[in-house]
Amino acid sequence: MIIFISKEVRREDIENQKVIEMIDEKIIQRTANTLNIDINSLKSRTDEILLAQGDAWKNAGKSEEDCYALALKVAGSKIKNENSRLLRSGASKLEGMFISVPRPKEWGKILYNKMKSQMISASEEVRQQFVDNGKIVLYNDNGDGTYTRYAREDFFGEDTTNVNELDKNAMRLDGDSYFYCVWDSNNPTFPSGDRNFKFGNARPQNEQERTSMFLGRVEGSSDDVKMMSVTAQGKAADMQYPTFTPLTMALRVGKDGKKCYVKADMANYTADASKAEIFSAAPIMADGTGLVPSLLGSENMLSSLDNLRDYYDQFNGKDGWWDRMVGVIGEVIHIDPRDNGGYTLVCADLDIASVAPVVEVYVPTEHGSRVDFAVGTKILLVGQTWRTRDTDEQKLSVSGWYPFDEVEAMETSVDAEGWD
């Protein structure tokens, strides 16, 4: 087993080694045993809290030993509370890393825009058919602050009513007309007999779903790591998880063990560099070998961005195309700080003779600490390729990235979430 040590661990080792030596290792181990957690994970959580609160405690007159003891106590309390929530929720705590975190699919907007395009030029008769079939609820603005609502009769007890306001999910159709897409038109009640709140009501326009790929296992198990899909819906889909970052998080695991689901109130994760130990190799190494080439297979691991066009021509339209991930190695040629925080990494082919267009990687503010390298750093890009219709350009939508063979930045920063 190859163990990779994160930069944060190296720095924390340097800064806290003397302090840790002051704390009896048996106390830390006993605390870990009580919490049913790996001792390295407990130390990682303790270091995280010490980094956030240590200065305040020192300013309050606490010694370094006292600060570490306090951080250990706070970490233990947090873990205990998390374990209690896990027990109540039916979720499991998993350890591993995300390989791919694509953009959310905005199903609500897609549905509403599709419905609008169907109805925009439709006759009144056709629109009424959509209403009668329970597909939509239609509104007309009366010009006096009220609206006439047209709906299937069983939704509201009558098919035509005057209301004082539009549903918050209503979309303008044309002129004085508005509509919303019906969430459920078939089931007035749930199987339990309780009223179905979706029946006749508006499907949210902001309904979204994100399905990511996670390589890991239940924390503390001796199972081999495996690839699992992780689906987050609604507000939980807003969470942008870092890729190739060892971490732990709570997930509801499906019966087949291959699908997991994010609970909205437990969507957070904890970066834990010690979890790199569960992997047999780094994501990729300087010689081109590593975990990702093994996972994707040779046909999906490309040596050049120029190869994306041939790859697209070979596999587009075949079974599994929409779920097929491709990996390619490039070079960071520009790092652009964004106005709202975070960075844009501009990546190009390693071959200077390549004519492939550059690939941009958007790094959100919360992952900004990962950009502690300089131009010239090699980068592994994972994603899906597609081709523009108007310009015939081959594009890569990046859903995972990992820098390696790094060029050190002039002003170094700490990476709490990766391998050395």
Distance CA 105, CA 212 (A): 11
4 pLDDT above the threshold of 70: no
97 and 246 belong to one structural domain? yes
Q: Which residues pair with 255 in a beta bridge?
A: none
Give the per-residue pLDDT at 411: 57
Residues with Cβ within 8 Å of 195's Cβ and at least 6 positions away in sequence, in order, are 188, 189
Q: What is the pLDDT of residues 126-178, one digit of tens each?
A: 999 999 999 999 999 999 999 999 999 999 999 999 999 999 999 999 989 99
Average confidence score pLDDT of the chain? 88
Q: Does 419 map to a domain?
A: no
Element (H, E) at 50: helix 39-59
In a domain, 197, yes or no: no
Task: Give the residue from 227, 252, 278 where a domain finishes.
Answer: 278
If asked whether residues 233 and 97 sit together in one domain, one would say yes
CATH code at 273?
2.40.50
Judged by DSSP in three states, 329 sits in strand
Residue 220 pLDDT > 60, yes or no?
yes
Give the tens place of pLDDT for each residue, 350-377: 988 898 999 999 999 999 989 999 999 9
Asked whether residue 411 is domain-assigned, the answer is no
pLDDT tens-digit readout, 380-419: 999 999 999 999 999 999 999 999 998 888 754 445 455 5
Domain-embedded: residue 229: yes
Whether 350 and 303 share a structural domain: yes
Indicate which CATH number applies to the domain containing 302. 2.40.50.140
Is residue 8 located within the same domain as residue 29?
yes
274 plus 312 within the same structural domain: no
C-alpha span between 367 and 33 (Å, rounded): 32
More reliable by pLDDT, 41 or 361: 361
Asked if 80 and 133 sit in the same domain, the reply is no
Residues 169 and 85 in one domain: no
Return d(Cα 392, Cα 387) in angstroms, integer: 6
Q: What residues contact residue 102 under an 8 Å CB cut-off, 6+ apart? A: 210, 211, 212, 383, 384, 397, 399
Same structural domain, 295 and 382: yes
| Cβ neighbours of residue 360 closer than 8 Å, sequence gap 6 or more | 344, 345, 346, 347, 398
User: Is 286 contained in some domain?
Assistant: no
Q: How far apart are CA 38 and CA 54, in angstroms?
A: 23
Mean pLDDT throughout 286-302?
93
Q: What's the pLDDT score for residue 22?
A: 53
**Among 96, 32, 43, 104, which Cα is nearest to 277's?**
96
CB atoms near residue 98 (< 10 Å) = 22
Regarding beta strands 259-261 and 269-271, do their DSSP bridges make them parallel or antiparallel, or are they unpaired? unpaired
Q: By residue range, what is the domain housing residue 23?
A: 1-89
In a domain, 204, yes or no: no
Q: Do 118 and 69 fall within a single domain?
A: no
User: What does the pLDDT average to over 106-114?
Assistant: 94
Determine the pLDDT at residue 29.
85
- Per the CB < 8 A criterion, the answer to whether 292 and 404 are in contact is no
pLDDT of 18 > 60? The answer is no
Q: Are strands 359-363 and 378-387 parallel, antiparallel or unpaired?
A: unpaired
| pLDDT at residue 8 in the model | 41
334 plus 376 within the same structural domain: yes
Instruction: Classify 285 as helix, strand or coil.
Output: coil
Query: Average pLDDT for residues 108-117, to the nearest whole number?
Result: 95
- Per the domain annotation, does 308 fall within a domain? yes
Using the 3D structure, point to which of 227, 250, 278 is the last residue of a domain. Answer: 278
pTM (two decimals) = 0.73
Q: Distance between alpha carbon 418 and the CA centroid of its chain, in Å?
A: 16
Residue 6's pLDDT band, with cuts at 50, 70 and 90, is very low
Co-location of 270 and 233 in the same domain:
yes
Tokens read off for 49: 């809290």
Number of domains in the chain: 4
Which of the listed residues 278, 303, 325 is the one where a domain comes to its end? 278
Which of 291, 276, 302 is CA-nearest to residue 396?
A: 302
Position 419 scores a pLDDT of 55
Is 420 part of a structural domain of the chain?
no
| Average pLDDT value for residue range 69-80 | 88
239 shares a domain with 96: yes
What's the rounded Cα separation, in Å, for the pair 67 and 48? Answer: 12
